[in-house]
């Protein structure tokens, strides 16, 4: 009998781990794939896969996702999260990978009724239909509650070996994890930044200015953001972690710091930058560094901090006027 192979749409959460491990237990070859974009980075899924002995493939879908994001067919959830269209895009992309990976069908860890936006039965059907590969999807944890797809009808997968988990509780999944020897899985939630209020507002604002540069989108994860012109933004760290992240990401921007006074760093990034924008950015940075004397010059520069500027602290009204989200 042919050794059937599956691509797993893998999030790194308990359900996706279980779906992979269950199908592997049944003898199938499974290729877990995490579909990444700046607002769902791969690091947590990579850690989860490593801890569970899975060889994870990371596939970037940023261009396709940004094309879909402004006008999803099924709309958004509470924030900027087009869950149904997003899931359909993941499955459609996995479908395009079947031939190159010599795989036969697709699996996911979706559980019927677990998530109100994307895992109702009608939403699951909508996702499958929109993806264009409805008949090649298996959801091992809930498939006995769903209509049989081609792998089941053709006998590639025995429906009696699949499961009938449903609802928002996790007791059956946790028991199954113990049975399968899964020692690590993360707590639920927190994987998609499009469900975060602040991030969603910053991303909407960026797209409203027709900016889709992946670097600019990556920066949305960190700091306070200020729109200084239609093309130019200033980003200020909120703590040491964000200062370090902004410093690590910094490229092609003007960097601001007060190295003698612990506090935030900032970067000015985007289009054409003149001295007025530099002065405005420096005044914002001074606002957030309460320890520095008011006449302390700020250091700034593109590659080295070889320029100095002394400014008056921005007032709270200016901060409120320019801040995004």
Question: What's the confidence (pLDDT) of residue 124?
Answer: 85
Query: Which of 151, 180, 209 delimits the end of a domain?
Result: 180
Residues 168 and 228 in one domain: no
**72 and 155 fall within a common domain:** yes
Let me know if residue 281 belongs to a domain. yes
Q: Mean pLDDT, 10 residues at a time, over the chain (325 residues)?
A: 89 96 97 95 95 97 95 91 94 97 96 70 84 94 95 96 92 95 84 89 94 91 96 96 92 91 94 95 96 92 92 96 93
Answer yes or no: is 186 within a domain: no
Residue 214 lies in a domain: no
Contact status, residue 265 vs residue 237, Cβ threshold 8 Å: yes
Residues 58 and 142 in one domain: yes
Q: Which of 157, 180, 203 is the last residue of a domain?
A: 180
Q: Which of 102, 11, 96 is nearest to 52 (CA)?
A: 11
* Cα 127 from Cα 139, distance rounded (Å): 12
Asked if 39 and 92 sit in the same domain, the reply is: yes
Structure tokens at 242: 């964000």
Handedness of CA 9, 12, 13, 15 (dihedral sign): positive
Where does a domain end: 180, 210, 236?
A: 180
Helices (H), 195-259: 197-208, 214-219, 240-249
Residue 118 has a pLDDT of: 54
**Enclosing domain of residue 229:** 222-324
265 and 154, same domain (yes or no): no
Q: What is the pLDDT of residue 250?
A: 86
Q: For position 222, what pLDDT does the model report?
A: 94
Query: Tokens 């400014």, residue?
Result: 311
CB 325 within 8 A of CB 225: yes
Query: What total of structural domains would you count in the chain?
Result: 2
> Among residues 180, 212, 202, 215, which one has the least CA distance to residue 323?
202
Residue 256 has which token pair? 């601001």
Residue 199 lies in a domain: no
Is there a contact between 139 and 164 (Cβ–Cβ < 8 Å)?
A: no
In this structure, are 147 and 12 located in the same domain?
A: yes
Distance CA 280, CA 170 (A): 51
pLDDT value of residue 116? 55
* Domain match, 21 and 147 both: yes
- Does 287 fall in a domain? yes
Tokens 């049989």 found at? 148
Residue 189 lies in a domain: no
Tell me the CATH number at 159.
3.40.50.620
Domain co-membership, 140 together with 243: no
Backbone CA torsion sign across 137, 138, 142, 143:
positive
Closest CA to 270 of 295, 306, 234: 234
Asked whether residue 193 is domain-assigned, the answer is no
């Amino acid at each position: 009998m042919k050794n059937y192979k599956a691509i797993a749409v893998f999030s790194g959460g308990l359900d996706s781990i279980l779906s992979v491990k269950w199908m592997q237990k049944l003898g199938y070859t499974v290729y877990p794939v995490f579909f990444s974009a700046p607002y769902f980075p791969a690091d947590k899924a990579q850690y989860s896969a490593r801890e569970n002995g899975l060889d994870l493939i990371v596939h970037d879908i940023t261009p396709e996702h940004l094309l879909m994001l402004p006008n999803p067919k099924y709309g958004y959830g509470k924030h900027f999260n087009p869950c149904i269209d997003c899931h359909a895009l993941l499955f459609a992309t996995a479908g395009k990978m079947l031939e190159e990976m010599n795989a036969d069908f697709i699996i996911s860890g979706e559980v019927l009724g677990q998530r109100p936006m994307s895992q109702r039965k009608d939403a699951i059907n909508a996702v499958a239909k929109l993806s264009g590969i409805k008949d090649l999807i298996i959801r091992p944890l809930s498939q006995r509650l769903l209509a049989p797809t081609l792998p089941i009808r053709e006998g590639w997968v025995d429906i009696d070996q699949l499961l009938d988990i449903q609802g928002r509780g996790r007791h059956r999944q946790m028991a199954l994890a113990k049975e399968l020897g899964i020692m690590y899985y993360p707590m639920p939630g927190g994987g998609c930044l499009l469900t975060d209020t602040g991030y969603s507002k910053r991303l909407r604002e960026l797209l409203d200015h027709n900016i889709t540069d992946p670097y600019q989108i990556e920066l949305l994860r960190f700091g306070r953001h200020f729109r200084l012109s239609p093309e130019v933004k200033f980003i200020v760290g909120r703590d040491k972690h964000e200062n370090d992240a902004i410093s690590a990401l910094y490229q092609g921007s003007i960097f601001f710091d007060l190295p003698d006074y612990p506090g935030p760093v900032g970067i000015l990034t985007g289009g054409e930058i003149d001295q007025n924008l530099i002065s405005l950015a420096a005044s914002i940075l001074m606002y957030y560094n309460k320890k520095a004397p008011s006449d302390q010059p700020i250091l700034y520069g593109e590659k080295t901090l070889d320029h100095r500027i002394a400014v008056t602290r921005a007032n709270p009204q200016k901060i409120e006027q320019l801040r995004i989200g």
